[in-house]
Amino acid sequence: MHPALQAILAIIIVIALGGLFALGYFLNKKTKKPEGCEEITERCGSCEVTSCHFNKAHQKEGEEHDDTSK
Amino acid sequence: MKFILIALSAILVNNIVLTRFLGICPFLGVSKKTKNALGMSGALIFVLLLSSLVSYAFYFLVLVPLGLEFLKLVAFILIIASLVQFVEIALKRFMPSLYKALGIYLPLITTNCVVLTVALDVVAVTGGVADYSFLEMIIYSLSNGIGFALVFIVFSFTQEKLANNKAIPTPFKGNAVALLAAGLMALAFVGFQGMI
C-alpha cells in the first residue's frame, strides 16, 4: 500500500476511534444513574485515587489544598 | 496442557502486579477495604476480558490487513476508554444492581495499565505468527484478571491489618509500609517460579 494512503487511513482510524470515545463519553454523561445509585460516591471513603471523577471527597480536599497554597 | 501453563503462569508465576509492577495505583489506593478490592477485581476481570477480545479482533481484522500495526498503542487506548464508557452506559440502563456494585470502579479501570498491557500482550507476533490463538488469548486475559484479583484481595487483608496497627512508626504509616508489604508479597510469589 502507498505510504500516503496508509497515513491517511491511520488518521481516519484515530479520528474514528476518538469520535467513538467522545460519543461514548457524551452518552454516558446523558444517561441517568439508576435509582439508589445517586450517592454512589459515599463508598469512596477509603480510596486514595484522587483523579477519579466519582471521588467528590477527594476533590473537596484538593480544592482546600489549592486554597491554602494560594 | 498449554492452557493450564498459560493460566498458572499469569496467575502465580508471572503475576502482572508483582513482576511487572503494573496497576499499582488501584493496588495501593483501593485496597484499603476488602469489599472495595472485591468490587474492583470483579470490574477489572470483566473489562479486561472484553477489552482483550475487542483489541484482538480490531488488530487482526483491521490493523494487520491495512498494514497499520504501528497504530496499536493509540488504537487500544481509545478502544479501552470507549469500551468502558459503553459498559458503564449498559450497566446504568440494564443492570442497575451491577452498576451499584461495580460502577464506581469503572473510571479507574479506564486508566489502568494492566488492561492496556494485556491488550498489547495478546496481539504480540513473533516471526509473523501470533503468540496467542483466540482461545489462548481468552485464557491469558482471564488468568491475568484472576491474578490481579488474587493479589489485590490478599493485599487488602494486609492493608486492613496495617490500617489498625498502632505499632507502626509514624514515618512508615500509609503507603510506605504498604509498599514494604507489597515487596514482601512479591518475594513470596517468587517461590512459585519453580512450578513451570
Q: Which of B28, B74, B107 sits opposite A53 (nearest CB)?
A: B107
Model confidence band, residue A69 (pLDDT cutoffs 50, 70, 90): very low
Rounded to the nearest angstrom, the minimum Cα separation between B129 and chain A is 21
Contact B53, B79 (CB under 8 A): no
Three cell numbers at A20?
Answer: 467513538
User: Residue for cell digits 490463538?
Assistant: B133
C-beta neighbour count of A65 within 10 angstroms: 10
Residues 6+ apart with CB under 8 A from B118: B16, B48, B51, B52, B140, B141, B144
Interface test with A, best of B71, B91, B162 (most A CBs within 10 A): B71
Which pLDDT does position A70 carry in this prediction? 46
pLDDT tens readout for residues A3-45: 888 899 999 999 999 999 999 999 988 988 887 776 666 666 6
Question: pTM to 2 decimals?
Answer: 0.81
3-state secondary structure of B158: helix
Q: Is A13–B25 a contact, with Cβ atoms under 8 angstroms apart?
A: no
Beta-bridged to residue B130, according to DSSP, are B125
Residue B87 to residue B54: CA distance in whole angstroms: 13
SS3 for B175-191 is HHHHHHHHHHHHHHHHH
Residue B67 to residue B60: CA distance in whole angstroms: 10
Q: Would the pLDDT of B130 be above 50?
A: yes
Three cell numbers at B170?
Answer: 509514624
**Once rounded to an integer, what is the mean pLDDT over residues B14-32?**
84
Residue A2 to residue B96: CA distance in whole angstroms: 49
- Residue B129 DSSP symbol: E
Which pLDDT does position B93 carry in this prediction? 87
Q: Is B36–A47 a contact, with Cβ atoms under 8 angstroms apart?
A: yes
Three cell numbers at A12?
Answer: 481516519
- Which residue type occupies B160? E
Among the ranges given (A55-64, B32-41, B82-91, B157-166), the one the predictor scored with the smallest mean pLDDT: A55-64
Q: Would the pLDDT of B71 be above 70?
A: yes
Interface A:B, Cβ pairs < 8 A:
95
Contacts B89 to A, Cβ<8 Å: 24, 27-28, 31
